[in-house]
Structure 1
Amino acid sequence: MNPPPPRKTELSGPATGNEAFQLLSDETRLAILQALWEADDPVDETPIRFADLRERVGVDDPGRLNYHLNQLADNFVRRTEEGYELMDSGKRIVRMLLSGTAIDDPEIEPVAVDISCWYCGGQPEWSYREGWRYLECTNCEARCVESFPPGVISKSEFPPSGLRDRTPNEINEADRIWGAHRRALVMDGVCPECAGEMPVTSVSVCDDHQPDWEEYQFCENCGSIFWMLVSHVCERCKYQWRMPTLFYPSRHPAVVAFFYDHGIEFDLATYEQRAQLLDFEEELLSEDPLRIRISVPLEDDRLWLTYDERMEPVDVTR
């Protein structure tokens, strides 16, 4: 007799999502969170006294401050015998504000960076606008996705706070690491926004895939240069991510070992090795059940990985 499936944990908290938004809609409460954040010392976490907090926030009426503290208590602020301190949820709110995602809208004009276009080997330029970073090739008009302007070889979200006190090349490197870890989380089924469950919701296979590989132009039938695309959607916050199936072998230890045996420390997070994806070959073995085989060639050697509808590997052959 099979055991029953494990029950998913159901969490209940002091405030729902709507209530949390309402709690943070007051300027005094936001000022309290900021004051507690500024008073926080990660090395010496000592709560701040009521009188000190009142002075930092600039509230003359003690009753008014106490009222707002009561509204924040159990959700964002912890009251102790020594005073008040931010809960982790409160710290996340302040970090979001400090990251600039809620207040800043900076722009950086295109500037050359020390990498090569993985399509043509030309010189890309890095730019930033409307919360997105862009890599645009100055040598080709590659358009791997229909929604990208010509020449944009990569586009992704990046917090404005990551721009501060960095050169363009340092920003580009931070962006590379940021994106690689977020992509790895998605492939592992964990939402990079809220840590909720983020399963594969669909695997799209173009029925008549005809991209122009010579000019690196997307297929007009599916809107992508890639034949097969995987979609993940977070069950908690609805965050979505879509990427080619070709990324998934990079997470398998057999692939890392395969390249290592040939003297290559393989890491698709690096721009230099991103071009390796273009050498991977896909094969649709069956549609029901879905089975996709990806071939990884290297010199005179080859590695095959077969995936199911959840993009879980079911077979590895060398």
Structure 2
Amino acid sequence: MINSKRGGGASEEAFALLGHEIRLDILRAFFERYAPVDPGSRSDVREERTLSYAELMAATDMEDSGKFNYHLEKLRGIYVEEIEEGYVPTAGAIALYEAVIANRPTESVPTNFDIDESCPNCESRLQGKYEQEFLTVECSACDLFWGATYRFPKNGLSVREGENVYEALYDRMMYHVGLARTGQCPSCAGITSLTVPRERLDEDSTPTAEMTCETCSWFVTVDILSALQFDPQMTNAFLELGVPLSGSGSMRATEQILPNVTGRVSTDDSSRATISISHGDAIAKITVGDELEVCSVTIE
């Protein structure tokens, strides 16, 4: 799997709202005592995350109520919501807090390291690389293993090592790919567009799928099997082919057969692609629509 993060038009207004120390102090006041609860939780639990106007003002060390109220109003409805008992952080503020925790400065994390896991094609030890908070798993000994590059929070590396890093990266990617295939961006909940690049349907290259958010800059290119593997028809096809899906998220299983996966534009409908998977003495042919829907599966 290969991921690319496109440069996008981030909202200047959203950043501007946080561009003042007083507003940051207001948000910090919530999270110094924050415990995540849902809106329907018991009142005594909800009370723990609720701050009064006076408590928020005290947290900023301000004495000018007019100036404080000006900054509080800037946050209201976006990062702060007023309820009968006081003020609570919105889901947007909570997401901001979680992003800070996920990528907060930590003790040094490795930039290049061995992973205690072998390449599914040549059995060489896999390598890990961490740059700009993107984690890459690759094989330096062969060209058949696709490998993976994806955003991975620094916190995830600081609490894992070795094979656990490999598994965590793959599970994270597949969770996001599965969500994006339903049409929802895993980053901003926007609408994703799904395409199968026609230039990869030359009956020689490994077919891929591209998933792009129409709102933010989330973008991923992934091999076609990873994009489709959660479809029940594909699961049945793998089983009929004898592909060992011993683990629900086994990258090794699909990586082993990728060299035998090809695609072409369907002869009876140019908006569809026909994907061929050879394994053992059998061939599976999957017809995929232009939005990655599985139209048909046949085993020969």
User: For residues 181-260 of structure 1, what are the structure 2 equivalents within 5 Å?
Assistant: 181-201=175-195, 203-206=197-200, 226-260=205-239
For the 8 Å contact 2:81–2:87, the answer to whether it is kept is yes
Change in Cα spacing, 1:130 to 1:37, as seen in structure 2 (3 Å) is same
Change in Cα spacing, 1:168 to 1:263, as seen in structure 2 (3 Å) is closer
Distance 1:65 1:131 in 2: 36
1:45 aligns to what SS in structure 2?
A: helix
Distance 1:271 1:314 in 2: 24
For the 8 Å contact 1:200–1:310, the answer to whether it is kept is yes
1:114-155 C-alpha deviation (Å, 9 max, x unpaired): 2221332210122312111122324x153878xxxxxxx332
Distance 1:60 1:20 in 2: 27
Q: Which residue of 2 aligns with 1:316?
A: 297
Structure 2: gaps spanning 5 or more residues = 1-9, 38-44
Structure 1: gaps spanning 5 or more residues = 1-15, 146-152, 211-225
Q: Which residue of 2 aligns with 1:85?
A: 88
User: For residues 47-86 of structure 1, what are the structure 2 equivalents within 5 Å?
Assistant: 47-86=50-89
1:187-229 C-alpha deviation (Å, 9 max, x unpaired): 232211111111125623248787xxxxxxxxxxxxxxx4433
Change in Cα spacing, 1:238 to 1:129, as seen in structure 2 (3 Å) is closer
Distance 1:299 1:208 in 2: 22
Q: Tell me which amino acid in the other structure corresponds to 2:124.
A: G
How far did residue 105 of structure 1 move?
A: 10
Which of 296-305 and 19-28 deviates more? 296-305
Structure 2 residue 300 is matched with structure 1 residue 306: no
Calculate percent identity across the aligned residue pairs. 24
Structure 2 residue 138 is matched with structure 1 residue 136: yes
How far did residue 231 of structure 1 move?
A: 2.4
1:279-313 C-alpha deviation (Å, 9 max, x unpaired): 33434333962332223344444432111222222
Q: Tell me which amino acid in the other structure corresponds to 2:180.
A: V
Alignment root-mean-square deviation, CA: 3.1
Q: 1:27 aligns with which of 6, 21, 27?
A: 21
1:52-92 C-alpha deviation (Å, 9 max, x unpaired): 33343443444433222111111110112312110111111
Q: Give the count of matched residue pairs.
A: 279
Q: 1:159 aligns with which of 153, 159, 165?
A: 153
Q: TM-score, normalised by structure 1?
A: 0.75
Q: Which residue of 2 aligns with 1:278?
A: 259
Distance 1:41 1:70 in 2: 24
* Larger RCO, structures 1/2 (Cα 8 Å, 6+ apart): 2
Change in Cα spacing, 1:234 to 1:207, as seen in structure 2 (3 Å) is closer
Q: Which residue of 2 aligns with 1:45?
A: 46
Distance 2:203 2:260 in 1: 17
Distance 2:84 2:100 in 1: 29
Q: Which residue of 2 aligns with 1:149?
A: none
User: For residues 91-102 of structure 1, what are the structure 2 equivalents within 5 Å?
Assistant: 91-100=94-103
Change in Cα spacing, 1:141 to 1:298, as seen in structure 2 (3 Å) is closer
Change in Cα spacing, 1:197 to 1:73, as seen in structure 2 (3 Å) is same
1:272 aligns to what SS in structure 2?
A: helix
Q: Tell me which amino acid in the other structure corresponds to 1:198.
A: T
Distance 2:273 2:75 in 1: 50
Structure 2 residue 181 is matched with structure 1 residue 180: no
How far did residue 268 of structure 1 move?
A: 7.1
Q: TM-score, normalised by structure 2?
A: 0.79
Q: Tell me which amino acid in the other structure corresponds to 1:193.
A: S
Distance 2:247 2:293 in 1: 20
